[in-house]
Structure 1
Amino acid sequence: MARSDRLFRLLQAMRTMPAPITAARLAEATEVSQRSLYRDIDALRAAGARIEGERGYGYRLIEDYALPPQTFERAEIEAISLGMAEVASMGDPVLAEAAASVLAKVAATLPDDREQYLLHAISQVFRPTPRYEMTPHMEIVRGACWREEALRIAYADKNDAVSERMVLPLAVVYTDRTQTMLAWCCLREDFRMFRADRLRTVSLAGSSFRPRRAALLRDYVAELKRQHPTPDARI
């Protein structure tokens, strides 16, 4: 692993672990020896990171040189906290971990008083069960959207009749209770919505449609707004 990647991993571990963090735990998290860890901490300190602590006691990241100080207002901090809590409650473990990472990174850049706003936000999310039932296909769908790769899918309609087709995935939309893939359907030669819970199989088709995704998605959203006009339509 390149040293820059290792130092970044060390910073991320110090952002997310409760302080003080022992050298042994940090070494395990970054997959290095404790001797290498001590050198990495010295390197971060030399680069401007404020890290309190010492060998045999533990460490705490006070100020992160990799992220500039943030001046979020209290309402903005509340919105960040609430938004990440919603993401964490959706039931997707990948996005839940990403939400926790976002909060840790933001907290590392805040002054002490604003960090307390984030850690003790008055707006909370409580969902006894995940909002969405996760399917094994959505990670493939999200990756294909980012990489602009076509997918082959088997899809069941409302009568459970299954059809196979190739699609160009454009985005994932989270409606009230359902995840939906927005895509260009090569079979119908038109835009289509595919509910995640009706996807029977999903695989990469081995072809790219780059750089068309942004333009296709823009056209699809415009079409949806024409079909369902509202005073403030957003997707």
Structure 2
Amino acid sequence: MTRSARLLELIQTLRRHRHPVTGDALAAKLGISLRTLYRDIATLQSQGARIDGAPGLGYVLREGFLLPPLMFTVEEIEALVLGSRWVSSRDDTRLAAAARDALAKIGAVLPPHLRHEMDTTTLMAGRSDAPGLDRDLMALLRQAIRSEHKLRLTYRDLKGATTERIVWPFALGFFDHVQVLVAWCELRGTHRHFRADRVTGAQVLDERYPQRRTALIKAWREQEGVPAADGN
């Protein structure tokens, strides 16, 4: 691994973690000595990377340091294209358009050889066979999650019974056959999963829910035994 590639990998490793990572862990990940790691961190800091920490305490990358898209590897380009195609295959035109726009912005600044890889990749995403979605509803659910506001839902269960409830939405799960809203339900007093195709009415309330979204996600993962993604 060249030094430039190693520095990029170091930045990417730090980006995947929101909390301090020890020097030993970073050195082991990169296959280098601690002394080399300290030199690499000093080099990145001199180039503007906001890396906080010290030997024995761990290191964390603060926001504000950007790497140009030309630093993407071929595998990263393939992952971006495949992810974009998967989103575009869902029955959600707003997200599909956003995925295509994001990919176009990345492609516009890629060097020719990587742009060629993006344009010619053969990784495909199959069409979704999920029930037709209410696009306005999905946009409303995403808005409520982003703003951490309560939702008033009208929901039809498996037996066809309809209930109205106040929920604290904090996640959306996209699966091949269904989309699921994950929320704290005030009626049940616990986390609940709501199929989007069974939501017959939804209203974003002015009131914010009393916990942060990240705290709700953490509690839900612990309750459901869902492993956390890297850095979360």
TM-score (norm 2): 0.65
1:114 aligns with 2:114: yes
Partner of 1:158: 158
Q: In 2, Cα distance between the equivalents of 1:197 and 1:170?
A: 18
**Are the equivalent residues in 2 in contact too, given 1:90–1:132 (CA < 8 A)?**
no
Q: CA RMSD in A?
A: 2.3
Name 1:72's counterpart in structure 2: 72
Sort the Cα spacing of 1:210 and 1:101 in 2 relative to 1 into closer, same or farther, 3 A. Answer: farther
Q: Deviations over 1:179-222 (max 9, x none)?
A: 00000001111100000011010012221126521101111022
SS of 1:70 mapped into structure 2: helix
Please give the secondary structure, in 1, of the residue aligned with 2:84. helix
User: Which range moves more in the overlay, 194-203 or 71-80?
Assistant: 71-80
Instruction: Report the residue type matching 2:101 in the other structure.
Output: S
After superposition, where does 1:39-58 map in structure 2 within 5 Å?
none
Identity %: 34
Q: How does 1:62-141 map to 2 (within 5 A)?
A: 68-127=68-127, 131=130, 133-135=132-134, 136-141=136-141
Cα distance in structure 2, aligned partners of 1:71 and 1:132 = 39
- Distance in 2 between the 1:132 and 1:233 partners? 28
Q: Determine if contact 2:221/2:228 at 8 Å carries over to the other structure.
A: no
Letter in 1 for 2:107: A
Alpha-carbon distance between aligned partners in 1 of 2:70 and 2:210, rounded to the nearest angstrom: 35
Q: Once the two structures are superposed, what CA deviation does each residue of 1:148-187 show, in whole Å capped at 9, x if it has no partner? A: 0001011111001001110000110012310000000011
Structure 1 unmatched runs, 5+: 1-65, 227-231
Q: Which amino acid aligns with 1:94?
A: R
TM-score normalised by structure 1 residue count = 0.64
Cα offset for 1:75?
1.4
Correspondence for 1:56? none
Q: Decide whether the 8 Å contact of 1:168 with 1:183 is kept in 2.
A: yes
Match of 1:208 in 2: 208
Q: Note if contact 2:173-2:180 (Cα within 8 Å) is conserved in structure 1.
A: yes
Which stretches in structure 2 are left out of the alignment for 5+ residues? Answer: 1-65
TM-superposed deviation, 1:121? 0.8
The structure whose RCO (Cα within 8 Å, separation 6+) is larger is: 2
Code of the residue aligned with 2:86 in structure 1: it is: E
Q: Does the C-alpha gap of structure 1 residues 164 and 141 become closer, same or farther in structure 2, counting only changes over 3 Å?
A: same
Q: Is the 8 A contact 1:88 1:95 kept in 2?
A: yes
1:25 paired residue number: none
2:191 maps to what in 1? Answer: 191
